[in-house]
Amino acid sequence: MSNDPSVDNAAIDSPGESPTVRDGPVVDTTYIRRLMHDLSAPTRHVSIFSEFVDEALTEPLDLDDARRSLATVRTAAVRMQQLTLMVSLHMKMIERLHATAKNPSARFQAEPYSVAEVISESWSSIGGRVDSLTVQGDAQTSVDETLLLVPLEQLLRNALGFQKESRPLQVLVSIQQTGELISVSIEDNGIGVDTKYAEKICEPFECLGTGKERRDGAGLGLAVSTLVIKELGGSFQMESDGESGTKVTMSWPHHCNAGDSGVE
């Protein structure tokens, strides 16, 4: 099962006015270079090892070698799929936030909904066990559900994907509303993360875990989550002792705050 979400082909309405001319490069070439770098290795594996599989159909090539080559091709294909799906999601969110930058009220909907219900439904949709999730508290929010679902689902996917093999996964979600803010804390008992890298792993293409603890992923989940929450006027905080799990808390205003917003 991929740790990345599906991305639909829904079109994003562009702003009615021409984009504002700003100083500096229009295209983030660093982002593109990293993407091309991450795609180059699996692409090369598909090319090379698919030739080995092709030879196995015409020559007396060792069957085990052919199976290993096929497994390498499959792994590379999954990796490319993860990257392209997450890049599409990232770009979709940037377009959506740009399109609503001059009218932040468009990021909110008329009817409020239960945050706890969205979390429970999302956990089930990504394959999480019901007995592994505990949700405490609830709040009603009017944030566009398609926006809020992105960081919520990404954090739940991280908890599911970075669990510690030596102990059963337990995820505690605490939901609170204080004044004008809603906060959601997602705490797991997984592998944990060194908090000195907390800011870095929220950047595009940076992955959680190192060495044997490194897991599959596109390295865009936290980048997209941080982008959405900050543009909603909220905050994103990570805590971990690096061994017994991670706690991520995100908060946002439950109503629309007036004001301009720019997306980098």
Entry field: residues in the chain? 264
List pLDDT tens digits, range 4-33: 444 443 333 333 444 444 444 344 556 666
- Written as six digits, the tokens of 93 are 């969110």
The rounded distance, in Å, linking the Cα atoms of 54 and 141 is 55
Q: Quote the tokens at residue 19.
A: 């984009």
| CB-based contacts of 21, cutoff 8 Å, min separation 6 | none
Q: How far is CA 87 from the centre of its chain?
A: 10
- Given a contact cutoff of 8 angstroms between Cβ atoms, the answer to whether 48 and 76 are in contact is no
Domains annotated on the chain, with CATH: 104-253 (3.30.565.10)
Q: What share of the chain is helix, strand, coil (3-state, %, to 5)?
A: 45, 15, 40
Of residues 202 and 243, which shows the higher confidence score?
A: 243
Each residue of 187-204: pLDDT tens digit?
Answer: 999 887 766 655 665 565
Helices and strands per DSSP (H, E), number in the chain: 5, 7
In sequence order, the β-bridge partners of residue 175 are 184
User: Is the Cβ–Cβ distance between 73 and 56 less than 8 Å?
Assistant: no
Residue 105 has pLDDT above 80, yes or no: yes
Residue corresponding to tokens 């890298």: 197
Name the average pLDDT for the chain: 74
Residue with tokens 């959601």: 184
Mean pLDDT for 83-93 is 81
d(CA 172, CA 240): 14
Q: What pLDDT sits at residue 205? A: 52
Q: How many CB atoms lie within 10 A of CB 71?
A: 11
- Region 117-134: what's the mean pLDDT? 95
